[in-house]
Amino acid sequence: MAEYTLHCMAESGHSYKVALMLQLCGADWSPRWVDFFNGETRTDAFRDTYNELGEVPVLETDGQMLTQSGVILDWLVERFDQYGWDTEAERREVLRWTLFDNHKISSQLGVLRFLRTIAKTGETETTKWLDGRCRSALSILDKHLASNAFAIGNKPTIADFSVCGYMFYEGETGIDLNDYKNVTSWLERIKALPGWDHPNNLMPSKAPTEAA
Ligand X SMILES: N[C@@H](CCC(=O)N[C@@H](CS)C(=O)NCC(=O)O)C(=O)O
When asked if residue 12 is in the footprint of ligand X (CB under 6 A), the reply is yes
Q: For residue 157, state whether it binds ligand X (rule: CB under 6 A).
A: no
- Contact flag: residue 204 with ligand X (CB under 6 A): no
Other Cβ atoms closer than 10 A to 212: 5
Region binding ligand X by CB under 6 A among candidate stretches 51-59, 80-88, 153-161, 180-188:
51-59
Peptide bond into 57 cis (omega under 30): yes
Contacting ligand X (CB under 6 A), which of 19, 27, 57, 131? Answer: 57
| Backbone φ and ψ of 76, nearest 5° | -70, -30
When binding is defined by CB under 6 A, the residue of 6, 19, 56, 66 that contacts ligand X is 56
d(CA 84, CA 78): 8
The single residue among 7, 24, 50, 55 that binds ligand X, judged by CB under 6 A, is 55
* Choice between 14 and 116, CB closer to ligand X: 14
Q: Is 3 left (phi over 0), alpha (psi -120 to 50) or beta?
A: alpha
Burial 62-71 (b: 16+ CB within 10 A, else e): eeeebbbbbe
The strand pairing partners of 66, in sequence order, are: 59
Stretch that binds ligand X, among 68-76, 79-87, 127-135, 200-208 (CB under 6 A): 68-76
Residue selected from 41, 61, 157, 173 as contacting ligand X according to rule CB under 6 A: 41
- Residue 92 or 103: the one with the smaller Cβ distance to ligand X is 103
Q: How far is the CB of 194 from ligand X (least distance, A)?
A: 25
Q: Is 104 in the site for ligand X (CB under 6 A)?
A: no
For ligand X, the closer CB: 23 or 68: 68
Q: In degrees rounded to 5, what are phi and psi of residue 65?
A: -115, 110
Candidate list 3, 37, 42, 103; residue touching ligand X; CB under 6 A: 42
Give the chain's count of helices (H) and strands (E).
Answer: 10, 4
Separation CA 205–CA 193 (nearest Å): 24
Instruction: Check binding of 69 to ligand X (CB under 6 A).
Output: yes
Q: Are 50 and 40 in contact (CB under 8 A)?
A: no
Query: Nearer Cβ to ligand X, position 145 or 163?
Result: 163
Interface ranges with ligand X (CB under 6 A): 12, 14, 41-42, 54-57, 68-70, 102, 110
